[in-house]
Amino acid sequence: MTTSNDIGAGGNQMDKIAVLIPCYNEEKTIGKVIRDAKAALPEATIYVYNNNSKDRTAEIAAEAGAVVRNEYMQGKGNVIRRMFREIDALVYVMVDGDDTYPMESAREMVDMVLNRNADMVVGDRLSSTYYQENKRPFHNFGNNLVRGSINKLFGCNIRDIMTGFRAFSYEFVKTFPVLSKGFEIETEMTIHAVYNNMQIENVVIDYRDRPEGSVSKLNTYSDGFKVLRTIMRLYRSYKPFWFFLMIAIVLALVSIGFFIPILQEYWTTHMVPRFPTLIVCCFIMLSAVQAFFAGVILSTMAIGDRRQFEMQLNMLQRHKENDYNG
């Protein structure tokens, strides 16, 4: 049954494959993306989520045969939150509406979820044509910086963090807490999958730059800063012991650095003429000790959260089987 918020055909039952396309002012490319998705995955239901577009994006998507819905809170993260809440499917394919990702790889990505138990399949642009096609050098630098930071901090080997072409399992979608509002959402997805030991696969895909007349909504500097801030926020949440240990080490080194001259002077003169500095050193060292124990406590809580997550996965597995078979 089509809801009143839909334009086009579609149902509320669980789909086998759902193609999710978040869109904001993509009238020049959305029709082709939908046609390509139908050709690659003819059995899929295609959903276009219109995010306050001021052009004919929604109208063109409906004419092309997609189910069109609206998300009125601006930002890609808000759109994906709405998609993941409303759509039930065995496998989800998420692709941008700007026609930069050829859909020919979609079938391979879907098969990895359905037949190889993958929870997230990453469309890897950086191993193919991205650096040749992309005309924005700071984007290239930013992609490498984000990829290197996450792989180092979380001990993983994800080849493309910022790609907008991915496939997901039902379990991933229904356990992913969307906290980001904008383009940092891809970073959040990746870290969620890595931290929770979900199966991640990489598929090398071609990338093509936007066609003439299609404008990117990504701001290199402001969105890049948001992505880096998201990495640190999630590192603090998922790896609290190491995060607060680093803070404790820095504070301890500062305290020791200022304390050593005072100690040397005391050994020489048996006097402590700089009492204010000594007091500050003591408070800084106390802060270091507090940071260390905060990391220990929060790490114990994070382990408890992981146990709850595993139990939630088991419940979702039974729920998915009952819904799809029933």
* Domains held by the chain: number: 2
Percent of the chain with pLDDT over 90: 57
From 190, 208, 237, give the residue that closes a domain: 237
From 210, 237, 264, give the residue that closes a domain: 237
**Same-domain check for residues 296 and 186:** no
From 213, 237, 261, give the residue that closes a domain: 237
**Same-domain check for residues 134 and 248:** no
**Same-domain check for residues 58 and 147:** yes
DSSP 55-93: SSHHHHHHHTT-EEEE--S-SHHHHHHHHHHH--EEEEE
Amino acid in the structure at residue 321: E
pLDDT of residue 103: 94
**Same-domain check for residues 283 and 199:** no
pLDDT band at 2; cut points 50, 70, 90: very low
**How many angstroms separate the CA atoms of 109 and 103, rounded?**
10
pLDDT band at 11; cut points 50, 70, 90: very low
**Same-domain check for residues 91 and 207:** yes
Q: Which two tokens stand for residue 111?
A: 């098969």
Q: Is the dihedral of CA 49, 108, 37, 33 positive or negative?
A: positive
**Non-local CB neighbours of 9 within 8 Å, separated by 6+ positions:** 2, 65, 67
C-alpha of 64 from chain center: 29
pLDDT tens string 226-246:
888 888 988 998 899 999 999
Instruction: Round the average pLDDT of the chain to a whole number and report it.
Output: 87
Higher-pLDDT residue of 13 and 225 is 225
**Same-domain check for residues 63 and 169:** yes
At residue 94, the 3 state secondary structure works out as strand
**Same-domain check for residues 32 and 163:** yes
* Structural domain harbouring 54: 15-237
For residue 191, the surrounding DSSP H or E stretch is: helix 185-195
In a domain, 161, yes or no: yes
Mean pLDDT over residues 284-309, rounded? 93
In a domain, 8, yes or no: no
In a domain, 1, yes or no: no
In a domain, 290, yes or no: yes
**Same-domain check for residues 136 and 279:** no
User: Which CATH number is 94's domain given?
Assistant: 3.90.550.10
pLDDT band at 215; cut points 50, 70, 90: low
pLDDT of residue 210: 67
First to last CA, the chain: 17
**Same-domain check for residues 220 and 272:** no
